[in-house]
């Protein structure tokens, strides 16, 4: 299998989409696959309005066609619905080439949080985009049910994994502040619902790891919170291991790779009972899901870190990759 992955999300962005694709590339040889990437690095780009950290590529069809021809793919996977994804989809449809897609981001909810655009309009556009492929990969049962209700077809499962050697309990604590430490890791943007966490009356210290368009405003509004900026690799892993509870206030994430990174680090989860936390934490006893987020955060302090670590170890990138490449092969067989 020579797979071309087309994605608008790539380095230097730090998010679950990028991390997941990086791991699929790393795991590809174990499944007899060779991967070529079509990313924003290959195009001129400009900052996305209202979100300059994300750059939109000027993916002209002729150039995309040349790059696809050079890649000589036997299979095509479109990871995102941006300019690159749209261009590759258009070429695949024109050439009669089978392709798969994945649904990472609840764009209808994100768009409606920023602009007065009905979710139904965005869902309609996304449904046309994904239903043109042979299969659309989703991370959880909750997301599958939600998308089926919106008319999406050919839905298959692709879970996520975690590097349990990097993300693990550690003896040292690198975060300043009084205990207990309540941690959030992720994009600092309106769709993450961060104020639901930052406004809580909690003992100890709140820590936010990440960056995004809302950081400056939230940092001014909540001066007692420690904002570290973006961290990756060892510094990120040490930050997880230095906290006591991972607080996840998002109402719109489809999975939340940060949830399993936290669990692998021995952190219990406090979150709302919504898609993502329900699927990851479920009834494992490694977190507290409640519409009273403060109650959840305080109760999570009582959960065993060893139990969280053991559960986090069940999420592997090897199993994630097995599902990913099996889905692509099966979709091609059904073409």
Mind listing the domains of the chain with CATH numbers? Answer: 2-161+317-333 (3.40.50.2000), 181-312 (3.40.50.2000)
Instruction: Give residue 335's pLDDT.
Output: 57
Instruction: Give residue 112's pLDDT.
Output: 79
Instruction: Give residue 334's pLDDT.
Output: 65
Instruction: Give residue 288's pLDDT.
Output: 98
pTM: 0.90
Instruction: Give residue 248's pLDDT.
Output: 98
pLDDT tens for the chain, 335 residues: list them: 999 999 999 988 888 899 999 999 999 999 999 999 999 999 998 887 766 777 889 999 999 999 999 999 999 999 999 999 999 999 999 999 999 999 998 888 877 777 888 999 999 999 999 999 999 999 999 999 999 999 999 999 999 999 999 999 998 899 988 999 999 999 999 989 999 999 999 999 999 999 999 999 999 999 999 999 999 999 999 999 999 999 999 998 999 999 999 999 999 999 999 999 999 999 899 999 999 999 999 999 999 999 999 999 999 999 999 999 999 999 987 65
Cis before residue 12, ω within 30 degrees of 0? yes
């Amino acid at each position: 299998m020579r797979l071309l992955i087309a994605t608008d999300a790539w380095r230097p962005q730090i998010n679950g989409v990028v991390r997941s694709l990086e791991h699929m590339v790393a795991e590809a040889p174990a499944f007899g696959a060779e991967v070529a990437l079509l990313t924003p690095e290959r195009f001129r780009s400009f900052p996305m309005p209202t979100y300059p950290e994300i750059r939109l590529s000027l993916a002209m069809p002729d150039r995309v066609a040349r790059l696809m021809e050079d890649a000589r793919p036997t299979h095509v996977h479109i990871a995102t619905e941006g300019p690159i994804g749209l261009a590759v989809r258009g070429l695949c449809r024109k050439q009669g080439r089978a392709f798969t897609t994945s649904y990472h981001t609840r764009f209808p909810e994100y768009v409606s949080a920023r602009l007065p655009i009905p979710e139904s309009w965005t869902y309609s556009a996304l449904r046309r985009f994904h239903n043109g492929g042979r299969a659309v990969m989703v991370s959880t049962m909750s997301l599958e049910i939600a998308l089926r209700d919106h008319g999406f077809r050919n839905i298959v499962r692709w879970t996520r994994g975690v590097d349990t050697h990097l993300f693990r309990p550690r003896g040292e604590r690198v975060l300043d502040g009084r205990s207990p430490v309540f941690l959030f890791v992720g994009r600092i943007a309106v769709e993450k619902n961060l104020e639901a966490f930052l406004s809580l009356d909690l003992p100890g210290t709140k820590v936010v790891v990440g960056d995004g368009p809302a950081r400056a405003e939230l940092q001014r509004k909540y001066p007692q919170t420690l904002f570290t900026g973006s961290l990756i690799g060892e510094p990120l892993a040490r930050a997880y291991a230095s906290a006591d509870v991972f607080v996840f206030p998002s109402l719109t994430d489809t999975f939340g790779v940060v949830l399993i990174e936290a669990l692998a680090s021995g952190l219990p989860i406090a979150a709302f009972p919504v898609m993502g936390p329900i699927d990851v934490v479920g009834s494992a006893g490694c977190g507290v899901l409640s519409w009273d987020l403060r109650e959840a955060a305080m109760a999570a302090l009582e959960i065993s870190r060893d139990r969280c670590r053991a559960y986090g170890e069940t999420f592997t990138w090897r199993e994630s990759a097995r599902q990913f490449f099996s889905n692509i092969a099966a979709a091609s067989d059904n073409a």
